[in-house]
Structure 1
């Protein structure tokens, strides 16, 4: 067998199981989700059993018409790079919809192997697919598999090997005579400009008058005119436009293929998924159910199960065992006092404060992975489309926000799936309002310090993020920069199924590992720097924290945050260090408060010391600001890459910081008047003006944008 690299492209619709198959074949651990956009760029991996075979996991697409960024990525690779084989992954439970892409792949001129995934679900439903008849009609081999149950995977490797040693020409489907005659005439014109294996594909695209393909082929004016005449005559003969002619032909062929190959069960009763969706996606019940589910998730993570682990890690592991043990070792080795302070008061206090919230994160990650895997989160994207569309955003914008609950960086990158440039930029600006895993320690800190008995505080952070996104969608859509049509949202809802424990545990492990890795690198380095600044003055003399360089800087900037209720230099410094990484907020408090000997009523934890320096209202204001302000440096870098413009990036950061400041200001000033914490004066009056301004921005009348019809939440089971 040849040792040369053999390239295999994995192509399929979103939710077809393409990335799961990629992971099974390569041993990689790419993210998998029940919504489109999880794979937003091409990813490579080598086959586990043969390292000379390279698999390319392309973004999930519905067709090769480049209407979205992921379709452009896939089409450019298939047509220009030309892989040796195409593995077309099809959701066998929705074969009609998936075969549309198959009809296009067969025209590229690259050998196609059709992989029917989810055959276990097909059998369970009582349907039957005759793979031999399907293979004969498509002119391509069919491999039935179930990635979830690891069935049929080995047959794919065997078929790749068989194709690798043969010179196979892929046949294409044949349309009706009039259309075939037109395509044959176009082939004669274009064959001198394009590679022979792909001439059929180019002919079809030129018949559809695909502008991007027209730009790719440098034809003479005469040849362009001849093709235009061929298309024009065909449209007159068939009494339709060229795109519609091609789409209709494809679906007529698909109907014939499915009728001959697929036997549907006679059952007309509603499936379990249908019955559940009648409640879960109900117009009136969906949002209350979603609110309850997220409250319960945060209740488990922050208030009960997760807190038990966090209390032990904070109080026992990093409160007693690690510091006492390390102190004994350092004393035994006669380590210098400054080095002992660095290790105990800097590294252990800073990194330990962050790692103390790992148990809560693990519970949260596990709960969210269960919701994703069972199919519920994809329903929420459908439900949120109803809400978002009213306020100028597509439900497609909620997908990056779901991704951002794990980390803001992939959440920002997931915005690539949004076709409309204005909607994409607005989504990038608002996605990081969602509380990511790095913000959860801040939520846990404030909840534990000021609201230990209140279960509403943690989930309120989640809904505050959604509320800010909705507000931003309404207001920004009324500006000239973001006005325009709202992109339609098309999404297939997978059938409900029990979460796969292995998959959920793996996702939880990967996310937790990423959190720990960040604590061991960025947070470690930040803790050393913060300790140095908090332990020395400008003369590099070791001093008390209140006389340190950090205290001097903190006092200089604290005045900016005094109107928000937390004008102490410690809180101001923590908010600034959070720009490096949001976990630094907790790490900074761990260094500044962790070494104090005072014991509060809530114990020796850092949140006990924090509760002595701020009121509960000021603590909640601090939480709001850190949830909504500019994200960490890594996410800012992702925003810069996706915006591809420093001006737009600066605008996004300024908007995020501005709205964070205004919302925190309003909550603290008006909340303080309501609960009697302070009297009504200039600052509360200014807060009222801000509220009036926000209400005006919400309801001001603008010239309505042209509306588009939405096709949202199509459930194809």
Structure 2
């Protein structure tokens, strides 16, 4: 029979790194039953019978957030054979809070004190023997990053799972016991069950353990018990339990941890003096993101994309003097040799290869971008960005918690939207859901790359500007919406840790890049494939002289008829030609469809990012100004269908869903109109009625930004350092 070991620990404790080391490539990702929080499981390398389940990174089992609910329910309901608790050795006190809760569950626990290389470098010493004796469970020193102690911790975890490790229930001080004795008496008076450890039950009542409540609620008035205890102690019971946990942890650490005599600034502290500086933080962030997009879209990414577009999905490429034909050439020759029907050749070459190929051609750029993002996340810099943005967001009515979903949204808007569940304040959560998709996700990168390369000659400012357009839209929306009754109120407090800077493992960065990139490729092989077939059919078939059939001129196709019927809507935005209108609409299915649609409608041979052909072909539809207007609209308008579905699920209200989609679309239209019409004046264009509308849009936005209102009192809670004495919910 197989063994299941649950991996539990605080965020940034090195849990994910250890999980990757233990499982290697033998892992699979899904969602927890009933929720959309990511679930990772894997087989222990060399042990096919041992399954490692990676629980969400949490600070405690008291269920305040969805991640904590998921972790607690798994441990209580699924009952794994053992728990491998990852503890950050550089912040022992805070990490042991979760450890005390895990030990109480009665499941064998093995503690892995991680980052021991950093602990030793700082001069601190941890006596794991004493720590093990006081906790009553095995404690092993490891360094997941350098793969030290992995063999020993694996052995200990398997022994614990096989029942070779004793289980000891956590004990509390007399201060709490006096209150718990009172509760125990009340439980017995009410005729409740005489549990083996009433103190455990009482503690779980205070720590919001719904499972315990459900078990005894039919026989006991739970709320009256809690109220009575609070009366006896003249304080909040939950706070008392928290305080006593830390008192207990302090007694454990007293003989287990010896701090270095001299407190020196760590390397992370020295870097943070510059990176999180009040005046330098934002310029540094802007420079970092400019470099990321410059390398990803304009230089290295472009070279790789040119190779993919011109070579793999074009005429071919040379390798060591050997000419290798591209996919269109190979397929074209094959279809000719088997005398395939004309419509079939057109479907495969002008539809599937042109549409899907145009999208996949930008995969190299996306992979380069994903490498950068994975590196910034793993090294600890992105946590600093949340800290920096909290300062800004808090001035505009949002907290730094809103930046976490936005950060996740740079990969894909769907998990970004779902990450808003961690925001307790309902108003802030709704606003975050509405604004998260403003940030350019991976699916929008091909649009950015196409516009930057084909219509701006590879200008380095275009791609980074797209990122900051999204940030600006989020901030502006936060200011405007917070001044309405629907969203008024204090921003939620934001408490998080700043992990130490560390050099990421190359394998972890590449794994993260591949997971994101593979998700994009799978979408290209499913949603994009079906979309391109639909686009090819509707563009190549239509009514001519009263008869329906394949048309020679795309202007006579069904898609052209639809496009011409809606293109007038986009005339004020500068791109009222039907092909551009259709591309924007198909982007609602999946944003990659914008590029795929251009690939079909303009002919894939022309959709090479740097090619002269696409410039001449698109020149009739776009100027540099109208192209940027097109880019802005597609960045800010309603997201893809998948993200819309996530918005509807998270809003759980049809009216709020349509309000969110309507707000995004109206804002996108207004901003794109203002960009084109006002920009047109400065580039020598004519002054028209739409120019006045553009100025009115700007005036309306400025009015909502600066109109007076009763400011809410913002909380002065920002970010706790890694040296924080306590972490309280």
State the TM-score, normalizing by the size of structure 1. Answer: 0.91
Find the aligned partners of 1:601 and 1:517 in 2 and give their Cα distance.
23
Moved more, 379-388 or 470-479: 470-479
Residue in 1 aligned with 2:584? 575
Provide the residue aligned with 1:488 in structure 2. 493
Number of residue pairs the alignment of both structures matches: 703
Aligned residue runs from structure 1 range 273-352, under 5 A: 273-321=268-316, 322=326, 323-352=328-357
Contact 2:229 2:237 in 1 (8 A): no
Aligned to 1:77: 74
2:633 aligns to what?
625
1:574-653 mapped onto 2 (5 Å cutoff)? 574-594=583-603, 603-653=611-661
Q: In 2, are the aligned partners of 1:143 and 1:152 still within 8 Å (CA)? A: yes
SS of alignment partner, residue 498 of structure 2? coil
1:204 aligned partner:
203
Q: 2-side partners of 1:688 and 1:447: how far apart? A: 26
Q: Which residue of 1 aligns with 2:319?
A: none
Distance across 2 between alignment mates of 1:230 and 1:167: 38
Q: Which moved more, 1:505-514 or 1:580-589?
A: 505-514
* Residue pair 1:445, 1:607 contacting (<8 A) in 2 also: no
SS in 1 for 2:602: helix
Q: In 1, distance between residues paired with 2:567 and 2:618?
A: 16
Shift of 1:54: 4.1
User: For 2:343, what is the secondary structure of its paired residue?
Assistant: helix
Classify 1:225/1:681 alpha carbon distance in 2 versus 1 (closer, same or farther; 3 Å): closer
Question: Distance in 2 between the 1:190 and 1:49 partners?
Answer: 49
Q: 1:13 to 1:222 in 2, by over 3 A?
A: closer
Return the offset for 1:173. 3.6
CA distance in 1, matches of 2:345, 2:205: 73
Give the RMSD, CA atoms, in angstroms: 2.8
Q: Equivalences for 1:475-514 in 2 at 5 Å?
A: 475-514=480-519
Unmatched tracts of structure 1, length 5 or more: 32-37
CA drift of 1:194 comes to: 6.7
Partner of 2:405: 400
- Corresponding residue for 2:565? 556
Q: CA–CA distance in 2 between the matches of 1:230 and 1:343?
A: 73
* Cross-structure match for 2:171: 174
Match of residue 412, structure 1, among 411, 417, 420:
417
Are the aligned partners of 2:187 and 2:220 in contact in 1 as well (CA < 8 Å)?
Answer: no
| Counterpart Cα distance in 1 of 2:347 and 2:338 | 15
Residue 39 (structure 1) shift: 9.7
Shift of 1:387: 0.7
1:81 positional shift:
4.4
Question: CA offsets per residue over residues 22-50 of structure 1, 9 Å max, x none?
Answer: 3333445579xxxxxx9945544444444
**Counterpart check, 1:466 vs 2:471:** yes
Shift, 1:170, TM fit: 3.2
Cα displacement (A) at 1:595:
5.9
Residue in structure 1 matched with residue 699 of structure 2 by the alignment: 692
Structure 2, gaps ≥5 residues long:
30-34, 317-325, 725-729
Match of 2:663 in 1: 655
Deviations 1:556-589 (A, max 9, x none): 0101111111000000000011111111100100
Residue number in structure 2 paired with 1:217 = 216
Mark the CA change 1:661 to 1:227 in structure 2 (over 3 Å): closer, same or farther. closer
CA distance in 1, matches of 2:641, 2:489: 31
Contact kept, 8 Å, 2:306 with 2:609, in 1: the verdict is: no
Among candidates 7, 11, 22, match of residue 25 of structure 1: 22
1:210 deviation in Å? 7.8
For the 8 Å contact 2:367–2:517, the answer to whether it is kept is yes
Partner of 2:322: none
Q: Deviations over 1:203-245 (max 9, x none)?
A: 1144578899657631556786566444422x15xxx443333
- How far 1:104 moved relative to its partner? 2.4
CA distance in 1, matches of 2:503, 2:605: 48
TM-score (norm 2): 0.90
**Which residue does the alignment assign to 1:516?**
521
Q: What are the superposed Cα offsets for residues 154-197 of structure 1, whole Å, 9 maximum, x if unpaired?
A: 33332233233438663234333232233234235447757946
Aligned ranges for residues 334-483 of structure 1 at < 5 Å?
A: 334-483=339-488
Shift in alpha-carbon separation, 1:143–1:363, aligned structure 2, 3 A = same
**Given that residues 110 and 169 in structure 1 are in contact (C-alpha distance below 8 angstroms), is that contact kept between their aligned partners in structure 2?**
no
- Tell me if structure 2 keeps the 8 A contact 1:40–1:417: no
Q: Please state whether the residue corresponding to 1:432 is helix, strand or coil.
A: helix
The farther-off stretch of 280-289 and 120-129 is 120-129
1:532 to 1:680, Cα distance in 2 relative to 1, 3 A: same
Residue in structure 2 matched with residue 186 of structure 1 by the alignment: 183
Cα deviation, 1:608-635, whole Å, max 9, x if unaligned, reads 4223421110000000011111111121
SS at match of 2:113: strand
CA distances 1:503-539 after superposition (whole Å, capped 9, x unpaired):
2222222222222222222222211111111111144
SS at match of 2:217: coil
Q: 187-196 or 314-323: which moved more?
A: 187-196
Moved more, 505-514 or 626-635: 505-514
